[in-house]
Structure 1
Amino acid sequence: MEPNKNEHNSTMRTRQLRRELLDARASLSTAEREQAATQVLQRLQQLPELQQSVRVGSYVSVRAELNTVAINQWLLEHHAPAVPVLHPFREGNLLFLNVTPETQWRNNAFNIPEPELRCPDVAPLAALDVLLVPLVGFDKQGNRLGMGGGYYDRTLAAWQAGHLPRLLPIGLAYDEQCVESIPAEPWDVPLPRIITPTKLWDFRR
């Protein structure tokens, strides 16, 4: 019974931490969020990996997530962006679709805008150079806390196993989302880099 009790306690700690971090994120003012998004974009623009046109997986920010509107506009102008949609056949998984200024959008089951699913627009993960990843929190070892659905852990499992050597996942976050320690489960995938307004965290060393 003891392992189950420990597992339960760990789950409760994770849920509590997620609530605290979501509250902290939500408490930021509009001006603070706008400034943070601008600073993160500037740091992205300085990355050596983004000095030439590459294929970048991004995402559409919702609620109090770090705003990706300007980031995605810049990617449209200078790179080849793709964004996730809920996989139509594999529940709990994401599929990435290339986007252009002509892309038609709709809201998914979570009320998140996503491109209309067209087979010619599918962007295999193996074809992406960079993947921008949303998060609720992270620690100083690169452990990531998400919303709890496991979508990005499943997405990044092949990368973690070494099957996507060209892919560079990069988390985007506010400084306020950094904590001392994130409870890590065996299926959680740590990130090699995270960008916040004031710092580029590189966990590969």
Structure 2
Amino acid sequence: MPLRSAPSPFRSLRDSSASDPVSADHDRRALRRLLRRRRRALDARARHQAALALRQHLLAMPEILRASHLAFYLPSDGEIDPRPLIATLRRRGVHIYLPVLRPLVHNRLWFVELRHDTRLVTNRFGIPEPALRQSAQRHRRLPAWALDTILMPLVGFDQQGQRLGMGGGFYDRTLAFTRHRGARPTLIGLAHDCQQVDALPVAAWDVPLDAVVSDRAIIRPHH
């Protein structure tokens, strides 16, 4: 499994963002490419072991054990796989929701319940999600604020819990209310350990995470 011990050209990315936003944006795009290649390079055995380790870490967290309505994602592009945990929680009667691209609303998500009759389709980004006809049924979905915990994929993360996503801003726009609303879901990012870097820049629109969980560790930043 690739480790983060090798020197990286992106170690000072947070510092560069303050002095040169254009350069920092270029660096973020390059960092995304690097970290996506890194996670895609993991073989099937390493991914399976990571998924089982992730489940073990998450099942030790009260934010998971006490929740009755949780949002997950289905993995693509080498993302760490939460499906072993999803299966465990569904057997316990926990309601599981998946993100769906909202039609007619730019870069925002619905969260639709995963049921035995849920039909999955591939969206325009190649990501599996519940079919639109089922997603449009209000009794099958919840607004983000009504969920107990939202677990989201990451491209990169740091020790402070900063998240680097794919660049579309879907989660940041959908969860923008969490900066101002009192009651809010717990936000947890999931990633392979090899996706950690020393420091990431913070943009004004970034939604802070309550925790980041990898196959190696649970990180709880102090905001």
Structure 1 position 11, deviation (Å): 0.8
Q: Does 1:156 align with 2:211?
A: no
Residue 13 of structure 1: aligned partner: 27
Deviation digits for residues 105-140 of structure 1 (CA, Å, limit 9, x no counterpart) = 222122221112222212111221010010000011
Structure 2 matches for 1:113-152, cutoff 5 A? Answer: 113-116=128-131, 117=135, 118-152=137-171
8 Å Cα contact 2:187/2:211 also seen in 1: yes
What is the DSSP-based 3-state SS (H/G/I as helix, E as strand, rest coil) of the residue aligned with 2:175?
Answer: helix
CA 1:27–1:66: 2 relative to 1, 3 Å: same
Q: Number of matched residues?
A: 201
Structure 1 position 165, deviation (Å): 2.3
Which of these residues, 190, 197, 204, is aligned with residue 208 of structure 2? 190
Q: Does 1:72 align with 2:112?
A: no
Distance in 1 separating the partners of 2:164 and 2:182: 22
What are structure 2's unaligned runs of at least 5 residues?
Answer: 1-16
Structure 1 position 166, deviation (Å): 4.1
CA 1:52–1:186: 2 relative to 1, 3 Å: closer
Structure 1 position 53, deviation (Å): 5.1
What is the DSSP-based 3-state SS (H/G/I as helix, E as strand, rest coil) of the residue aligned with 2:96?
Answer: strand
Task: Compute the TM-score of the two structures, normalised by the length of structure 2.
Answer: 0.84
Which of these residues, 60, 63, 85, is aligned with residue 46 of structure 1? 60
Q: Does 1:31 align with 2:45?
A: yes
Cα root mean square deviation, aligned: 1.8
Residue 97 of structure 1: aligned partner: 112
Distance in 2 separating the partners of 1:20 and 1:200: 23
8 Å Cα contact 1:193/1:204 also seen in 2: no
